[in-house]
Amino acid sequence: MLGLRRGHPYPETMSLPVVVAVAPDSAAESAGLCPGDQIIAIDGEVPTDVIRWQLLVDEADPVLTIQRGGIEQDTKVLKVAGEPLGAEVDASIFDRVTTCDNHCEFCFIYQLPKGMRRSLYLKDDDYRLSFLYGNFTTLTRFTEADLERVVNERLSPLYVSIHATDPEVRTRMLRNRRGGYSLRWLKALLDFEIEIHGQVVVCPGINDGEVLDDTMLGILDRYAELRSLAVVPLGVSDHNREPSMRPHTKDEAIYVVHTVERWQERFLDAIGRRMVFAADEYYLLAGKPFPAADTYEDFPMHEDGIGIARAFEAGFAGKLLPGVGPRSGFFQWVDGAPAEGYRAPSNSSGSNRAGEISDPSSASGIEPVPVGIRARKNLPIGILTGSYGAEVLSPLVDSLGRSDIRILEVENRFFGGNVKVSGLMVGADVRRVLSSEPEGHRYLLPDVCLNNGKFLDGLSPDDLTRDVEVVPTDGAALRAALGKGSGSLRAQQESSK
């Protein structure tokens, strides 16, 4: 099934979906659809987004009103219900994205440097992008009509930024008077059995301490049907203009970890599951070991930085964990649409989520470089990663007992502050690190920092001073890319006897 391409995800104004590819031997090809055709309507309805598009073309024998060369015509596509149309369109949202009218102090978009591509500065608060990409919505612009559509089309899961359940605290954090009462939509969605994943971004001195405890109590009391709740630290770049926003201290990180672990036990006793999880970053900040893999309950918030280290470790050791896949990059939705429609298959009753991902591909837009040939050359290897990634990878690489592998920590000078995750590495910083590295080595780059083949600063791997191999961001892929090698310490010791 072709859904939509990795490209322009939102229009500046209301636009029509444009066909960009037609699958060979598909229903669309048989009907004569061609790249460049504008879709005006499907069975008389103008689709506003790819979700509605997919539901409409999923029907039997849809009639597409198309515009080609300035001429409108109706084209009937002969197909059975559920059969893929086989046409790929150029966007995920055809009308305007619902933008965010909050003014959160901790919003990372406000902390971006000037001069980046325009799309990165768009703040959305659109439930459709939450469904399609896992974006978090505050629900402050959610409406009755939105609720009706989510429920009728079973647009699930959705991702909601909670931050605090106290109305006054939430209003202050969002800097929006609707912040205090918009969580009523969260309750309504849960009452209709929509799967919701929540998030609390903890800001020191604002929603930590007693407020965090109060939020946990509010979740248990009013929103216990949440699928999961991620507790994550705020990011503070060098471009932050809010003096009250600062990174956590080690003691504050320890407090958050203890608070989350205490509430995990309470949730486990009350509802039979842990519900709340602290981001891996908190354990790194606190200097504490990561929880065991089986405590993450199928890793429901892996995309939000929860359990990445344990999942990576398991993949590196050749173990498969449920619910874990390659991570997408920061701002992934802006320049790349889901590879094949969206999150889960629909059925005839409409009880599941619409669409299907039939052929997921790398979120980076670059196919991973085949490493078999290069691995046999037994060249020294440098693994490029962020500061937090270096902490996680170092013991794994050390366990191999190989002297031919080095961790190349990429300090993030582009954003600065406490930004240390690999997904925010930019080309300029990677290029700086590689410029002092020898030629002729293999350099592995995680695809999580690329989007459509570009770093966030607009550079591409071709702009780097050394050739790199783009590797999927998971433990199994890295282990395969490293190969067996010939530089083990044990082998060197044996040969020296």
* pLDDT tens, residue by residue, 391-425: 999 999 999 999 999 999 999 999 998 899 999 99
3-state secondary structure the chain: CCCECCCCCCCCCCCCCEEEEECCCCHHHHHCCCCCCEEEEECCECCCEHHHHHHHHCCCCCEEEEEECCEEEEEECCCCCCCCCCEEECCCECCCCCECCCCCCCCHHHHCCCCCCHHHHCCECCHHHHHHHCCCECCCCCCHHHHHHHHHHCCCCEEEECCCCCHHHHHHHHCCHHHHCCCHHHHHHHHCCCCEEEEEEECCCCCCHHHHHHHHHHHHHHCCCCCEEEEEECCCCCCCCCCCCCCCCHHHHHHHHHHHHHHHHHHHHHHCCCCEEECHHHHHHHCCCCCCHHHHCCCCCHHHCCCHHHHHHHHHCCCCCCCCCCCCCCCHHHHCCCCCCCCCCCCCCCCCCCCCCCCCCCCCCCCCCCCHHHHHCCCCEEEEECHHHHHHHHHHHHCCCECCEEEEECCCCCCCCCCCCHHHCCHHHHHHHHHCCCCCCEEEEEHHHCECCECCCCCCHHHCCCCCEEECCCHHHHHHHHCCCCCEHHHHHHHCC
What confidence tens digit (pLDDT) does each residue in 104-125 have? 999 998 898 988 888 788 889 9
In which band, very low, low, confident or very high, does the pLDDT at 324 lie, cut at 50, 70 and 90? low
Residue 371 has pLDDT above 80, yes or no: no
Cα 50 to Cα 94, 115, 148, 261: the distances in Å are 8, 30, 18, 40
The CATH class, in words, for 108-306 is alpha beta
Domain boundaries of the chain, sorted by first residue: 19-89, 108-306, 372-494
Q: What was the pLDDT predicted at 332? A: 53
Q: What was the pLDDT predicted at 451? A: 84
In CATH terms, 19-89 corresponds, of 2.30.42.10, 2.60.120.260, 3.40.50.2020, 3.40.50.450, to 2.30.42.10
Give the pLDDT mean for 41-63.
Answer: 94
Residue 294 has pLDDT above 70, yes or no: yes
Lowest-confidence range among 11-20, 61-70, 114-123, 423-432? 11-20
Residue 493 has pLDDT above 90, yes or no: no
Better-scored residue on pLDDT, 341 or 117: 117
pTM for the model: 0.85
Instruction: Give the residue among 383, 323, 274, 469 at the shortest CA–CA distance from 314.
Output: 323
Task: Report the chain's mean pLDDT, rounded to a whole number.
Answer: 85
Q: What was the pLDDT predicted at 16? A: 85
Q: What was the pLDDT predicted at 323? A: 60
What is the spatial distance between Cα 305 and Cα 288, in angstroms, rounded to a whole number?
Answer: 16
Give the pLDDT mean for 274-286.
Answer: 96
The burial of 4, by beta-carbon neighbours within 10 Å (0-12 exposed, 13-18 middle, 19 or more buried), is given as buried
The reply to whether domains 19-89 and 108-306 share a CATH topology is: no
Residue 350 has pLDDT above 80, yes or no: no
Max avg pLDDT among 43-57, 108-122, 347-361: 43-57
What is the spatial distance between Cα 204 and Cα 305, in angstroms, rounded to a whole number?
Answer: 19
What is the spatial distance between Cα 446 and Cα 473, in angstroms, rounded to a whole number?
Answer: 5
What confidence tens digit (pLDDT) does each residue in 124-156 have? 999 999 999 889 999 999 999 999 999 999 999
Give the pLDDT mean for 8-21.
Answer: 67
207, amino acid identity: N
Q: What was the pLDDT predicted at 429? A: 97
